[in-house]
Structure 1
Amino acid sequence: MEEDTTWEQRLQALTHILTSPTTTPSLHSQFFISTQIPCYLDWEYPPILCTKHPSMFPSLHLRWGFSLFLKRVRRFGLPETSWRSKCPFQQPPPLILANGVEEARWEIEQRKEYVRKRLSRKRLESDVHPLIPILIPNLLLFGLLLWDPFLD
């Protein structure tokens, strides 16, 4: 946040963000946040009321547009997801579900089926034969016994 904002403005903006979480804020919400923190470049809407450094090149709006472009290019245009996107049973539910995650169903039978499906998944283990991690280092050491790399 910018240094020219007061703690009251920061607190009001944070309260507003926490009480209305969304990835597509309304125009009223964008205007309110821009009046509280006018020069914050990391959000999805332009810093409309920023009067700081008006003659600076590149302009604040150009820098905001370029940073928004880079954020979208980095994600290949896909929506932004987080760890909450993988947890469908969170309250409130995530705004965007991650790929492969089904929407939460709260009936008892559906929750039981969800748990059974989670428990019946293949365990996270490697498909490497258990003797290979033992044999390869031992064969390398045996090879060093037969071939001395540090000959005089």
Structure 2
Amino acid sequence: MNGIVPPRQPLDVYPGTSRPIGAAHPTQGYPGGDARWDEDPVYKKISGFHREFFAISHLANALGRAPKTIYKWEANGLFPGATWIYNSDSRNGRRRLYTRRQIEGVVLIAFEEGVLSQTQRFISQTNFPERCRELFIQTRAALPEPIQDWS
């Protein structure tokens, strides 16, 4: 009979999971995300110069979240849409691009609002969405510095 009935979980566990109640999600509390988030930028030619951009995966790594989380935040209105979008050659379609200034600003805001802390906070109960929206409005017209010695 051991294989017929699943073992009972202790009462201090969320139903349907093995995570204890009150414990942060494994991706939460990741202090500042991956320090190497900017290792492989995307270069696009704008106004005659190549400029440095980063994909949504870079943003997700910097925040210590999965790219699907950023997509969900965007769909729920908790995160602003990307300023630059380009059509890619892959079958997956369009790509969201962010500047270094935008990603560093989002990480700073997330840290200040407690989104990256060990405590479990709902992003909708912080000022994170509004502050990120303001940051993206301020940086919308600012292009990244051109890369002069492009070879």
The answer to which structure, 1 or 2, has the higher relative contact order (CA under 8 A, 6+ apart) is 2
What TM-score results when the alignment is normalised by the length of structure 1? 0.29
Larger strand fraction of residues: 2
Whichever structure has more helix as a proportion of its residues is 1
Q: Normalised by the size of structure 2, how large is the TM-score?
A: 0.29
